[in-house]
Amino acid sequence: MNFADPLVYVRAVHFAATLVAAGVVLFQALIAEPAFAAAAEAMRPESERLRRRLMALTAASLMVAAASAAAWLILLAADIYDAPVGEVCINGDAWAVASQTRFGEVLLGRLAVAAALALTLFAAGSAPPPRLVKSAAVGLAVGFLIAPAWTGHAGAAPGLAGAFNLGADALHLLAAGAWVGGLVPLAMLLGSAYRAMAPGWTAVAVAAVHRFSRLGILSVGVLLASGLVNAWYDVGSFDAFIATAYGRLVAVKFGWFAAMVGIAAVNKFHLTPRLEAAGAVRQLQRNSLTEAMLGFAAVLAVGWLGTMAPASHAHEHAAYGGAIPADAAFVHIHSEQGMAEVTVTPGHAGTARARIRLLDENFAPLAAQDVTLTLTAPQPGSKPVTYFARPDADGAWQVGRVVLAQPGNWTAAVGAVLGPKRRLDVAAPIVIEPAP
């Protein structure tokens, strides 16, 4: 993990802002509006005041999401073209990434959805919105929330297995937005109830908490199921949870999720039945904010995971097909810049040959001018050895002789010159077995 990589933090900020923006819209439509509808008419001024605050939070979150999306695009373009940030902006390279890659197309589409969502919320104002406007806002929020699934590892996988993983990613984002993104507006509503200490506010708080509890249980179930699916695809084995940085980070993310579920259980079974008391309302607000902080810590993990090759790609993966020799070591390395498949035959300690295939986001061959393969032994402090590859008749790149001195989790790094200003640099573990 590269803790100094700004892309990690830009991604995390973007996903956090996305969760909050969409979560507030879903909270208003599914939780707050029904709770206020059951309250007395005397609650109308307070309900409109809270709506204005929630609308301001949504607008601010959308602006942060848009700004971080632009920063993400520029940093990605700088990586692809191996150029300074200012240069890719001046030369139009960032726009080339935006207009010629799936990541860019999804990003531009999401920015258009965010603008439409902002206009919808502005048109609604602080009064209860008409049903059509509310439905449009929810639909736009859901689209804005789940679209990043098409830019991740799942979005690049082909076939039925890829479609299943993509669906799990989309459901994971939707559930995270409904639960984690909804915790912030829930805390705001509970804060208003605590400060007012009026019977009307108590009724609103009780109704909102019960509705959010039901939504939270559904979201937790979806998050757990989709998270297990993603872990199976991206980590691949129990050993990879321990042996790879990717797997360990996924395990940490599951730990934060478990802590959130624990706090949610306390909220539901201990505090919710006591909501008539001011102390319970206050404690529930604090717990909701603590849950949200743990959720955003998990989002930071997502920021890192998106810049790393999944641990399962250190082994052959059926989704990618291809004729891979039975005794070969294989790794598929996916990044936002492109993809590389490295096959080392035989895949055990000794002397071997390597084959490299470069692919774009649509799994079409990626043309390159020069390709290198750098292998690093698993021992700490091992010196990387770089080999220059040669093109073959099938469009792949070959290294005729590589020396694998020992078995273990080696690191395979592919560097490719794609054009005058474009590069592809990816790396991932590759498992080398003991010599037979």
pLDDT per position as a tens digit, 57-103: 999 999 999 999 999 999 988 877 778 888 889 888 888 888 877 88
Q: Do 47 and 95 share a domain, yes or no?
A: yes
pLDDT digits (tens, 9 = 90+) for 257-276: 999 999 999 988 888 888 77
pLDDT at 102: 80
Determine, yes or no, domain membership for 282: yes
Q: Do 240 and 326 share a domain, yes or no?
A: no
Q: Do 320 and 376 share a domain, yes or no?
A: yes
Task: Return d(Cα 65, Cα 147) in angstroms, integer.
Answer: 13
Determine, yes or no, domain membership for 226: yes
Q: State yes or no: pLDDT of 340 exceeds 70.
A: yes
Q: Do 76 and 178 share a domain, yes or no?
A: yes
Q: State yes or no: pLDDT of 223 exceeds 90.
A: yes
Task: Return d(Cα 302, Cα 135) in angstroms, integer.
Answer: 29
**CATH code at position 175:** 1.20.1630
Determine, yes or no, domain membership for 10: yes
- The residue segments making up the domain with residue 321 are 315-432
Q: Do 85 and 233 share a domain, yes or no?
A: yes
Percentage of the chain beyond pLDDT 70 is: 87
Q: State yes or no: pLDDT of 315 exceeds 60.
A: no
pLDDT at 192: 85
Of the candidates 254, 282, 311, which is a domain's last residue?
311
Confidence of residue 250 (pLDDT cuts 50, 70, 90): confident
Crossing angle (nearest 10°) for helices 44-81 and 199-234: 20
Task: Return d(Cα 156, Cα 174) in angstroms, integer.
Answer: 19
Once rounded to an integer, what is the mean pLDDT over residues 181-197? 88
Of the candidates 283, 311, 339, which is a domain's last residue?
311
Determine, yes or no, domain membership for 235: yes
List, in sequence order, every residue forming a beta bridge with 356; answer none if it has no partner.
Answer: 342, 397
Give the single-character DSSP code of 117: H
**CATH code at position 399:** 2.60.40.1930
Q: Do 209 and 282 share a domain, yes or no?
A: yes
Which residue is associated with the tokens 């669906």?
A: 167
Task: Show Cβ contacts of residue 372 under 8 Å, excluding neighbours closer than 6 positions.
Answer: 386, 387, 388, 389, 414, 415, 416
Q: How many domains does the chain have?
A: 2
pLDDT at 356: 95
Of the candidates 311, 343, 362, which is a domain's last residue?
311
Q: Do 194 and 335 share a domain, yes or no?
A: no
Q: Do 79 and 186 share a domain, yes or no?
A: yes
Q: Do 234 and 284 share a domain, yes or no?
A: yes
Q: Do 278 and 205 share a domain, yes or no?
A: yes
Determine, yes or no, domain membership for 129: yes
Bond into 346 cis (ω within 30): yes
Determine, yes or no, domain membership for 53: yes
Task: Return d(Cα 328, Cα 265) in angstroms, integer.
Answer: 48
pLDDT digits (tens, 9 = 90+) for 128-182: 677 888 899 999 999 999 999 887 655 555 556 567 778 888 999 999 999 999 9
Determine, yes or no, domain membership for 145: yes
Q: Do 300 and 336 share a domain, yes or no?
A: no
pTM here? 0.76
Q: Do 231 and 346 share a domain, yes or no?
A: no
Determine, yes or no, domain membership for 1: no
